[in-house]
Structure 1
Amino acid sequence: MKTRILLFAALLFAGTIVFGQECDNGKYIEVTGTSEITLVPDEIHYLIEIKEYWIEEFDGKSKPENYRTKVPLSEIEQNLRRALNEIDIPENAIRTQEVGDYWRERGRDFLISKRFDITLSDFNKIDEILKVIDTKGISYMRIGELKNKDMQAYRQKGKIEALKAARKKAAYLVGALGKLLGDVIRIVEPQENVGYSRFYAAQSNVSSSQAEAFETFRTIKLNYSMVVRFEIK
């Protein structure tokens, strides 16, 4: 999948502006420059947890005390893998992340669960997964980690854009006072902010119609903020 880049060389001028003097009486201005880069991931980790269930849970009439027919985890897993294979997701892309267990009701029903980490390269595969799987026995599905193989290059670009934004901001502020911007005195790099949204789907509301909701959750956003102190000539 080709990586699409939406680069917001956002010269967002929010931040602290400080005019002052160094201890040697040198005048300076300190500003904050910011930037944001939005990119499409080329590696998507989709998490699916399955759990044992009772057939009577879904007949619409049985009470919990009347549940008798348990569907074993092995059968649920087999059906899940078969469905994933139908949409060309290879076995080596499916990794067992953890196996757990819990009581449906303390002291009575002991049920087993298992979570899978499925590596995808295209968000369209998530849409396909939602269409082919049987949601009975699915505890939850959600997007895990998003990655891009060129992340380091984008990080560098984001920091450079933030520095450019800081210089532009400082230049027009100093220019408004009839002064000239001098050399850089100090650069402070705050902690990087990497964000992406996660989509959660519970068993009760998993459906193919939810594919539309993913449109706004398919990107990685890298936000950078650089604090720079410049000399005032």
Structure 2
Amino acid sequence: MKKVLTAFAVLFSISAFAQIGEKNFIDKNYIEVTGTSEIEIIPDKIYIQVVLAEKDSKNKNALSVQEKQMLQKLQELGIDTKKDVLIKDLTSNLKTGFLSKDILLNKQYQIIVKDGKTAGQVFLALEEIGISNASIEKLESSKIEEYRQEAKIKAIQAAKEKASLLCNTIGQKAGRALYIQEQEIMARPIYANTVMYAARAKEAADAADLNFESLKVEARVLCRFEIL
């Protein structure tokens, strides 16, 4: 029984302290502001999707030959085909015609490159060996988490600057932070206009250096600062 009473007393003390703390917080004069930041990033992970297809009844080696040629071209461009070339899907469909039955084979690959120049070279290389079903799937950054943290810091700094500016206007100062709430951290990957990028690569005399739209990381933080 004594232990129960002791526990109850401790809980009551904590509750009372929390209520007093909350009251003191409400009684303080504070300014509430929202800080935002936006960081633009050059993508260093460019995902290219390639689809090879054949009619198995007409040429049983067509797909394997194309695959071999593609991998050779990619290796010549310095792409690590074991690490940066993945098979995403392999399907076969039976197509029945009036006089024949064809097995349609489809193999989907994902190629990852680090810059626009290499992406342009890939499009041109695929065009040379007759592979036209290629598109840019999306753009990302390998350091996205670092940029998220940087965006948060800049958003809080922006909130402090805003609070100081507003307080200085009325002859007062923004003091310590009383409350900080992360409202939104957003990193937007870009799903590319593949037709536009493919056309740029094909029209170039040499391998195109494709200029992609920058990725964006946005942060929003709500802060309350004590008014001194």
TM-score (normalizing by structure 1): 0.68
1:187-226 alignment, distance < 5 Å: 187-201=180-194, 206=199, 207-209=201-203, 214-217=210-213, 219-226=214-221
* Structure ranking higher in helix proportion: 2
Per-residue CA deviations over 1:76-100 (Å, capped at 9, x if unaligned) read 3233223323323232132212213
The correspondence for 1:146, drawn from 122, 140, 143, is 140
C-alpha deviation, 1:136, in angstroms? 4.6
Alignment of 1:106-121 (within 5 A): 110-121=103-114
- Paired AA for residue 194 in structure 1: A
Max radius of gyration: which structure? 2
Q: Deviations over 1:175-223 (max 9, x none)?
A: 2233321221111112321123232436xx6552388794133x33211
Superposition CA RMSD, Å: 3.4
> What does the per-residue CA deviation read over 1:12-69, in whole Å, with 9 as the maximum and x for residues that have no partner?
xxxxxxxxx9873322221111112222344433322222369xxxxxxxxxxxxx95
Could you tell me how far apart the structure 2 residues matched to 1:140 and 1:105 are? 27
Return closer, same or farther for 1:89/1:76 CA change in 2, 3 Å cut-off. same
2:26 counterpart SS class: coil
Partner Cα distance (1:201, 1:40) in 2:
18
Separation in structure 2 between the aligned mates of residue 197 and residue 155 of structure 1, nearest angstrom? 16
Q: 1:123 and 2:116 equivalent?
A: yes
Shift of the alpha carbon at 1:147?
2.7
Pick aligned residue for 1:46 from 21, 45, 48: 48
Contact kept? 2:137, 2:194, Cα under 8 Å: no
CA distance in 2, matches of 1:212, 1:132: 11
Contact 1:199–1:214, Cα closer than 8 Å, also in 2: no
1:175 is aligned, of 159, 164, 168, to 168
Q: Is the 8 A contact 1:51 1:137 kept in 2?
A: no
Alignment coverage as a number of residue pairs: 196
The aligned residue for residue 58 of structure 1 is none
Q: Secondary structure at the match of 2:27?
A: coil
Aligned to 1:87, which of 66, 72, 77?
A: 77
**Separation in 1 of the partners of 2:24 and 2:44?**
47
Q: TM-score, normalised by structure 2?
A: 0.69
Q: Percent identity, aligned pairs only?
A: 23
| Separation in structure 1 between the aligned mates of residue 29 and residue 86 of structure 2, nearest angstrom | 59
Distance 1:197 1:53, change over 3 A: farther
Of 157-166 and 35-44, more deviation after overlay is shown by: 35-44
**Residue identity in the other structure for 2:91:** G
> Which of 57, 60, 64 is the matching residue for 1:74?
64
Trace 1:9-88 onto structure 2 (pairs within 5 A).
24-52=26-54, 69=58, 72-88=62-78
Q: 1:24 to 1:96 in 2, by over 3 A?
A: closer
In 1, Cα distance between equivalents of 2:145 and 2:226: 31
Aligned to 2:87, which of 66, 80, 96? 96
Q: Return the alpha-carbon distance in structure 2 between the equivalents of residues 102 and 200 of structure 1.
A: 29
Cα distance 1:101–1:69, how it changes in 2: closer, same or farther (>3 A)?
A: closer
SS of residue matched to 2:177: strand
Gaps of 5+ in 1: 1-20, 55-67
More strand by share: 1
Preserved contact between residue 148 and residue 187 of structure 2 (Cα < 8 Å):
no
Cα distance in 2 for residues equivalent to 1:172 and 1:208: 53
Decide whether the 8 Å contact of 2:48 with 2:134 is kept in 1.
Answer: no
Please give the alpha-carbon distance, in whole angstroms, between the structure 2 residues aligned to 1:190 and 1:103. 52
